[in-house]
């Protein structure tokens, strides 16, 4: 019996070592890394041996996030750095990526977690909100890929992760700026997958459910009551749980990562479910009216 217990402990230890070794000394570059899903993913990867670059717009938030990530250190040799840049500002972003490469080497893993959302009634929202949302959510991801993919292609390895949303599978009342930007990421990932595969690069597209993040808190400030009624029907997730699903998906080299049963069903059967969900959403909106 003691032998069996020792054997089992050895198996567990071996498994944990294997888990860490996948990301050991790899360079993970994460946009939107100062909060929410980006920060949680950075911390988890750092805890598993990766070197990490987090990028965001606010220096104070970056410094706070970096200190938190450092608490997950598992090796004295690891490094984590924080760079300030706006992903929608291409020159600034490209300079930050060059600096990250100079400090930590070529990225092995890229996670595009930077994003914004500003819900509201279509007729009330200025066109600038639509432009800004697409600039950050779609073009901010595209700019990163245009800089990072050639580096990975030269090596013939790497993995990129695009963060879409449940709202990237079905249009939602009140999210007219946000949903198209997340739909665009789905189209980008699906059309890019075959090309990256030929280069030895993996790609994942993530569909997180509503997650308890500062972004969601900001959304709630402008969210119409009809939108609140619709989103209240979904289960709330914590960033750490979404990060675990992302890292698990990277390990499995999954193309689609849909945390939880609700998202899994929606992503796989959205075309079939869309008419039913739209009728249900309409009934919720009618009740609010």
- The pLDDT value recorded for residue 284 is 78
Question: Is residue 16 in some structural domain?
Answer: no
Question: Is residue 18 in some structural domain?
Answer: no
Question: Is residue 132 in some structural domain?
Answer: yes
- The pLDDT value recorded for residue 180 is 97
Question: Is residue 248 in some structural domain?
Answer: yes
Question: Is residue 19 in some structural domain?
Answer: no
- The pLDDT value recorded for residue 277 is 65
CATH classification at residue 160: 3.40.50.720
Structural domain boundaries enclosing 97: 24-82+90-288
Question: In this predicted model, what pLDDT tens digit does every residue of 23-66 receive, in sequence order?
Answer: 999 999 999 999 999 999 999 999 999 999 999 999 999 999 99
Question: Is residue 137 in some structural domain?
Answer: yes
Which has the higher per-residue pLDDT, 232 or 202? Answer: 202
Q: Give the total number of structural domains in the chain.
A: 1
Which has the higher per-residue pLDDT, 106 or 274? Answer: 106
Q: Which residues are catalytic?
A: 164, 178, 182
Residue 266's pLDDT band (boundaries 50, 70, 90)? confident
Does position 20 have pLDDT exceeding 60, yes or no? no
Which has the higher per-residue pLDDT, 8 or 279? Answer: 279
Question: Is residue 15 in some structural domain?
Answer: no
- The 3-state secondary structure of the chain reads CHHHHHHHHHHHHHHHHHHHHHHCCCEEEEECCCCHHHHHHHHHHHHCCCEEEEEECCHHHHHHHHHHHHCCCCCCCCCEEEEECCCCCHHHHHHHHHHHHHHHCCCCEEEECCCCCCCCCCCCCCHHHHHHHHHHHHHHHHHHHHHHHHHHHHHCCEEEEEECCHHHCCCCCCCCCHHHHHHHHHHHHHHHHHHHHHHCEEEEEECCCCECCHHHHHHHHHCCHHHHHHHCCCCCECHHHHHHHHHHHHHHCCCEECCHHHHHHHHHHHHHHHHHHHHHHHHHHHHHC
Does position 5 have pLDDT exceeding 60, yes or no? no
Question: Is residue 6 in some structural domain?
Answer: no
């Amino acid at each position: 019996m003691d032998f069996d217990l020792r054997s089992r402990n050895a198996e567990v230890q071996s498994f944990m070592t294997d888990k860490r070794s996948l990301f050991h000394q790899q360079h993970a570059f994460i946009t939107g890394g100062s909060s929410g899903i980006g920060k949680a993913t950075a911390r988890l990867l750092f805890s598993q041996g990766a070197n990490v670059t987090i990028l965001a717009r606010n220096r104070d938030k970056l410094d706070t996030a970096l200190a938190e990530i450092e608490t997950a250190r598992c090796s004295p040799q690891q490094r984590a750095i924080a760079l300030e840049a706006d992903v929608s500002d291409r020159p600034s972003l490209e300079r930050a990526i060059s600096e990250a490469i100079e400090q930590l080497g070529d990225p092995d893993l890229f996670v595009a977690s930077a994003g914004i959302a500003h819900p509201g009634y279509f007729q009330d929202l200025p066109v600038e909100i639509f432009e800004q949302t697409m600039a950050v959510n779609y073009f901010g991801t595209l700019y990163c890929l245009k800089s990072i993919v050639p580096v990975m292609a030269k090596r013939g390895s790497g993995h990129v992760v695009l963060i879409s949303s449940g709202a990237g599978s079905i249009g939602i009342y009140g999210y007219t700026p946000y949903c198209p930007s997340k739909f665009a990421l789905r189209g980008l990932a699906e059309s890019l997958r075959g090309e990256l595969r030929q280069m030895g690069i993996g790609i994942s597209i993530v569909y997180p459910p509503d997650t308890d993040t500062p972004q969601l808190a900001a959304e709630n400030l402008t969210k119409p009551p009809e939108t609140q009624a619709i989103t209240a029907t979904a289960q709330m997730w914590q960033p750490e749980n979404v990060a675990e699903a992302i890292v698990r998906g990277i390990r499995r080299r999954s193309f689609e990562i849909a945390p939880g049963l609700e998202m899994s069903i929606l992503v796989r059967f959205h075309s079939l479910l869309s008419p039913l969900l739209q009728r249900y959403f309409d009934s919720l909106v009618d009740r609010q009216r």
